[in-house]
Amino acid sequence: MISQRTAIRLSDGRELIYFDETPDADRAKWPDTRHLPPPPPTSQLRYDPLVDEWVAVAAHRQTRTFLPPSDKCPLCPSTPEFASEIPAPDYDVVVFENQFPSFSDRVKPDEITALTDMVPVRPGIGRTEVVCFTSDHNSSFGTLPPARVRTVLDALADRTTEMSALPGIAQVFPFENRGIEIGVTLSHPHGQIYAYPTVPPRTEAMLRAARKHAEHTGGRNLYADVLAAEQKAQVRVVASNEHWTAYVPAAARWPYEVQLAPHRQVADIPALSDEERDAFAPLYLDVLRRFDALFGKPMPYISAWHQAVVGEGRELGYLHLQLFSIRRAADKLKYLAGSESAMGAFVNDIVPEAAAQRLREAL
Ligand SMILES: [Zn+2]
Tens of pLDDT, residues 268-327: 999 999 999 999 999 999 999 999 999 999 999 999 999 999 999 999 999 999 999 999
CB-CB contact of 254 with 324 (8 Å)? yes
* pLDDT for the residue numbered 117: 83
* pLDDT for the residue numbered 286: 98
Rounded-to-integer distance, Cα 44 and Cα 197, Å: 11
The model's confidence at residue 63, banded by pLDDT at 50, 70 and 90, is low
For the chain, what is the radius of gyration of the CA atoms?
21
The model's confidence at residue 42, banded by pLDDT at 50, 70 and 90, is low
Distance 137 CA to ligand 1 centre (A): 4
Bridge partners, residue 50, by sequence: none
* pLDDT for the residue numbered 302: 96
Q: Is the pLDDT of residue 203 over 80?
A: yes
Which of 57-66, 302-311, 332-341 is predicted least confidently? 57-66
Cβ burial of 91 (10 Å; 0-12, 13-18, 19+) is: buried
CB-CB contact of 153 with 193 (8 Å)? no
* pLDDT for the residue numbered 102: 80
CB-CB contact of 186 with 309 (8 Å)? no
Distance 70 CA to ligand 1 centre (A): 5
Q: How many CB atoms lie within 10 A of CB 116?
A: 8
* pLDDT for the residue numbered 81: 94
Identify the active-site residue in 188, 190, 213, 320.
190
Distance 99 CA to ligand 1 centre (A): 16
Distance 73 CA to ligand 1 centre (A): 5
Which of 52-61, 340-349, 353-362 is predicted least confidently? 52-61
Which of 99-113, 259-273, 346-360 is predicted least confidently? 99-113
Burial letters for 15-45: b for 16+ Cβ neighbours within 10 Å, e otherwise? ebbbbbbeeebebeebebeeeeeebbbbbbb
Cα dist from 105 to 7, 109, 191, 195, 196, whole Å: 18, 10, 20, 10, 11
Cα dist from 71 to 75, 76, 77, 137, 256, whole Å: 10, 8, 10, 10, 34
SS (H, E, C) the chain: CCCEEEEEECCCCCEEEEEECCCCCCHHHCCCCCCCCCCCCCCEEEEECCCCEEEEECHHHHHCCCCCCHHHCCCCECCCCCCCCECCCCCCEEEEECCCCCCCCCCCHHHCCCCECCECEEECCCEEEEEECCCCCCCCHHHCCHHHHHHHHHHHHHHHHHHHCCCCCCEEEEEEEECHHHCCCCCCCEEEEEEECCCCHHHHHHHHHHHHHHHHCCCCCHHHHHHHHHHHHCCCEEEECCCEEEECCCCCCCCEEEEEEECCCCCCHHHCCHHHHHHHHHHHHHHHHHHHHHCCCCCCEEEEEECCCCCCCHHHCCCEEEEEECEEECCEECCCCHHHHHHCCCCCCCCHHHHHHHHHCCC
Q: Is 213 a catalytic residue?
A: no
Q: Is the pLDDT of residue 95 over 80?
A: yes
* pLDDT for the residue numbered 173: 98
pLDDT in tens, 121-170: 888 889 999 999 999 999 999 999 999 999 999 999 999 999 999 999 99
What is the average per-residue pLDDT within 203-218?
98
Distance 77 CA to ligand 1 centre (A): 8
* pLDDT for the residue numbered 69: 76
What's phi and psi for 216, nearest 5 deg? -85, -10
pLDDT over 90 for what percent of the chain? 77
CB-CB contact of 125 with 103 (8 Å)? yes
What is the average per-residue pLDDT within 49-56?
93
Beta-carbon contacts of 80 under 8 Å, excluding residues fewer than 6 positions away, are none
pTM for the model: 0.95
Dihedral sign of CA atoms 70, 72, 77, 82 in order: positive
* pLDDT for the residue numbered 116: 83
pLDDT over 70 for what percent of the chain? 95
Between residues 181 and 135, the one the model is more confident about: 135
What is the average per-residue pLDDT within 210-222?
98
CB-CB contact of 230 with 244 (8 Å)? no
What is the average per-residue pLDDT within 181-199?
92
CA 255-137-298 angle, to 5 degrees, is 20
Q: Is the pLDDT of residue 111 over 70?
A: no
Distance 135 CA to ligand 1 centre (A): 7
Q: Is the pLDDT of residue 62 over 80?
A: no
| Residue-averaged pLDDT of the chain | 93
Q: Is the pLDDT of residue 35 over 90?
A: yes
The model's confidence at residue 60, banded by pLDDT at 50, 70 and 90, is low
Distance 296 CA to ligand 1 centre (A): 24
* pLDDT for the residue numbered 110: 59
The model's confidence at residue 108, banded by pLDDT at 50, 70 and 90, is low
